[in-house]
Structure 1
Amino acid sequence: MAGHSKWHNIQARKSVQDAKRGKIFTKITKELMLAAKAGGADTALNNRLKTAIAAAKSVNLPKDKLEMAIKKGTGELAGENFEEVMYEGYGPGGVAILVEAATDNRNRTVAEVRHIMSKKGGSMGEAGCVGWMFEKKGVLTFDATKYTEEQVLEVGLEAGVDDVIADEETVEAHVAPEDFSGAQQAFDDAGMEYQSELSLLPQNTIGVDKETGTKLVALLEALEDNDDVQKVYSNFDLPDDFFDDME
């Protein structure tokens, strides 16, 4: 799962840049609306919304924008009618690419995603062509400077966590979707700070060389820069020296 962890670190750095120009606000606002639309405004009954609110607070989304997005999602206020779509395809090196989008115009979004894929060395595929390679998981991410792998394991094993992966920057706990809420509560009760999301994790990763890795990162970043794209998933594993020239 090293590929997931390394790509996560790229995303973490990029999220800071995105927040400065407001792009991350747009994506989180859409997720708040979709979560509220799907499960209502009560976070006790809607864990997806609870997670979205935590993400919104972590990037300091203004309270009025947060509340407005929820009200638009529940229909209390008029708003855009977004729907969730998933596109599948392949990137350089034949790696799998999943693109999760929220759109009010399917034709526009699929055309833009196809253009980005083609321009950056990828290709669109049929529905189901790579989705089977991924598994939905709850991911709880901890700052490795605050918590050790052992600390996360100690709490997580009692809460249904089935895997913990650590590197120099983060400790990730993975849990089945049905145990996600319980795991969040267990870490809350332990007073531990974390970021959490439901994610699609690759069951296996493909090792790529530095040149291919650079092309893949460029492709995924271009996709994530699209306003309709919420998340991008892939199954590649970057070489250990990939970040040497980025420090």
Structure 2
Amino acid sequence: MAGHNKWSKVKHIKAKEDAKKGKLFTKAVRDIMTAVRDGGPNPDTNAALRLAIERAKAVSMPSDNIKRAIDKASGNLPGVKYEEITYEGYGPGGVALIVETLTDNKNRTVAAVRHAFNKMGGSLGTSGSVSWMFDKKGVITVERSDKDDEVMEAALENGANDILEFEEVLVIESDPADFNTLLQAVESTGTNILESNVGLVANNEIEVDDATAEKVEKLIEILEENDDVQNVYYNMK
């Protein structure tokens, strides 16, 4: 029995590790695909893609997976046609959400997205129903270190509109047109870049109670588990 219990524990730990690795791979694939759609499939001219590939390799993602993600985002997979579709809606507590998808089956994707919203007490809206609450920005998140002053100086000299200081990270925002130049400048400081992409940022965040926040987070989790979903943006503080 002791041996059986030990094996059960080993299997449980392995399952948790596999699930964790799966989530890391999923995030890496989405970062790569977002970078390709924003700046093209060539990492030599697309700094965001180059960094996304480096992060994917850091979590031991196979080269074939990386290449497949690039090909999918650039439409180079033979016999498959992908379509970018964005959905907008409200989650629990009136939190606005925008869901960006890349799919080869529109009916499958919209059904899954609608089901997720309905399940958590939200509702899909029409195009434009919540997008006015968001601005498109370049966002770079870096780990705080003794290079903070150098990073902030480089950022401000290369197109940064705002630098948000948190306990563990700096979040640098820019206009989309300045993003690549800014990213290269920040990268040149040698700081640890945790995330970098062009995405949507809420222009006015709303506060909700803890119970509502948990429901919104669950909705986001359900959406992000869908392989067709690329990004989920929301205005919850």
* TM-score scaled by length of structure 2: 0.80
Pair 1:115–1:45, CA change in 2 (3 A): same
Give RMSD over aligned pairs: 2.9
- Provide the residue aligned with 1:143 in structure 2: 143
| Cα distance change on mapping 1:63 and 1:196 into 2, 3 Å | same
Matched, 1:166 2:165: yes
Q: What is aligned with 2:82?
A: 82
> 2:12 — aligned with what?
none
Return the index of the structure with the highest Cα Rg: 2
Counterpart for residue 153 of structure 1? 152
Output the amino acid matched with 2:106: R
Inter-partner Cα distance in structure 2 for 1:39 and 1:22: 26
Label 1:175 to 1:117 Cα distance change in 2 as closer, same or farther (>3 A): same
Distance 2:17 2:98 in 1: 23
AA matched with 1:204: N
Q: Secondary structure at the match of 1:22?
A: helix
Whether the 8 Å contact between 1:19 and 1:59 is mirrored in structure 2 is: no
Q: Secondary structure at the match of 1:93?
A: helix
Kindly provide the CA deviation profile for residues 121-157 of structure 1, in whole angstroms up to 9, marking residues without a partner as x.
110000110011111111111113x257544322210
Query: Which amino acid letter does the alignment assign opposite residue 98 of structure 1?
Result: I
- TM-superposed CA distance for 1:63, in Å, is 2.2
Provide closer, same or farther for how the CA distance between residues 216 and 72 of structure 1 changes in structure 2, counting only shifts above 3 A. Answer: closer
| Cα offset, 1:34, TM superposition | 7.2
Map residues 105-120 of structure 1 onto 2, 5 A cutoff.
105-120=105-120
Task: State the aligned residue count.
Answer: 221
The percent of aligned pairs where both chains have the same amino acid is: 46
Q: Cα distance, 1:221 vs. partner?
A: 1.3
Closer/same/farther in 2, CA of residues 234 and 17 from structure 1, 3 Å limit: farther
TM-superposition CA deviations, 1:11-37 (whole Å, max 9, x none): xxxxx9897342443464466467657
Aligned residue number for residue 8 of structure 1:
none
Distance 1:87 1:173, change over 3 A: same
Structure 1 residues 204, 150: CA separation in 2 closer, same or farther (over 3 Å shift)? Answer: farther
Residue type of the alignment partner of 1:186:
A
- Cα deviations across residues 75-129 of structure 1 (Å, max 9, x unaligned)? 6663643221110000111111101111110101000110110011110000110
CA distance in 2, matches of 1:93, 1:76: 41
> What CA distance in whole angstroms lies between the structure 2 residues aligned with 1:152 and 1:223?
34
- What SS does the aligned partner of 1:199 have? strand
Residues 53-132 of structure 1: pairs in structure 2 closer than 5 A:
53-71=53-71, 78=78, 80-132=80-132
Shift of 1:55: 4.5
2:213 corresponds to 1:198: no
Offset, 1:72: 5.5
